[in-house]
Amino acid sequence: MATRRSELATFQEQLTRGKWQHLEGHPDIEVKLIKRRRVLFLLARSQPRRKKERAIRRRQRRALAQALKRLQQAVASGRLKNRDKIWERIGRLKGKYPKGTPFVHLKVSKRKRVKLDVSWDKKKFRQALARDGAYLLRSNESGWTAQEFWETYMQLTVVEHAFRVLKSHLLIRPVWHHYSGRVKAHVFICVLAYALWKTLDHLAKRAGLTTEIRKRDPQHPNASPQPRPMTPEVILREMAKLKIGDIRMETTTGQQLVLRRVARPDAEQKRILSALNFEIPERLSADRLL
């Protein structure tokens, strides 16, 4: 469904003209349905994404302009005369500022003296501004509305997130099995683990469980920190700190009595357990005699 970013150039006119539609439940997302032959396209643009992309480009373009100005001064003063050295410097700048290089044209001319000419493509820059925060989706389902198109696409992100959870958080890595029974068992474990993960996520959201803000961000001292919904990853990380230990006592007959007990949860663990309505058992197994 998703297309390459370069394909947005074929919809440059639609990006700058016509009305956009706001999605229900997503006030920051605007969409536009376009049908070409038997293919349905959905132009979407996000305001937060647009601000982010423009900020990145603005920072790199300004830094590139300042660096090129210094390079021009070095060439004009005669401190840098070798054309190959000039192009090496230009190559390093292009590698350092990739977001700004598409809009600049550079020319090193040599007549009596070496000269570096710098010109900016304003038309190309305006076109890039129109594409900021936009992406293009494609489907052969011609009967979809814009809302249905978007919701179907978002299902793909849920599937991708599921694979990331399996590999990163649950640490279930792909294994090359040689027998069908082992493949089915591995798939069953993956599905079961993800089902438990989503169940924990659902319980945390239903309970309104949030993270506690204990200190302000030093980079934003004037900002008021807001609590965020607690994710299953944070819950499992906190509960992993819960200790289980064995208490060994020697009996009068010379045997050892092993008592396996669960340590008392700390304040954060108690808050999580209380919100989820869980109870930690005192013991996980029967006492043993060795």
Burial class of residue 160 in the structure, from the number of CB atoms within 10 Å of its CB (0-12 exposed, 13-18 middle, 19+ buried)? exposed
Question: Which residue, chain included where needed, has tokens 């550079």?
Answer: 106
Q: How far apart are CA 87 and CA 90, in angstroms?
A: 5
For 61, list phi and psi in degrees, rounded to 5: -65, -40
Average pLDDT over residues 49-53: 89
225: pLDDT strictly greater than 70? no
pLDDT confidence of residue 214: 63
- Other CB atoms closer than 10 Å to residue 161's CB: what's the count? 11
The CA-based angle 142-162-211, given to 5 degrees, is 115
pLDDT band at 217 (very low <50, low <70, confident <90, very high): low
258: enclosing H helix or E strand: strand 256-262
Average pLDDT over residues 4-28: 80
Average pLDDT over residues 198-203: 89
175: pLDDT strictly greater than 70? yes
Average pLDDT over residues 213-219: 65
For 245, list phi and psi in degrees, rounded to 5: -135, 160
DSSP state of 168: I
172: pLDDT strictly greater than 80? no
223: pLDDT strictly greater than 70? no
Specify the range with the lowest mean pLDDT, choosing from 76-85, 207-216, 273-282.
207-216
pLDDT confidence of residue 219: 67
Q: Which has more pLDDT, 212 or 59?
A: 59
Q: Say which residues have a Cβ less than 8 Å from residue 279's Cβ, sequence separation at least 6.
A: 273
Write down the mean pLDDT value for the chain: 84
Average pLDDT over residues 68-88: 88
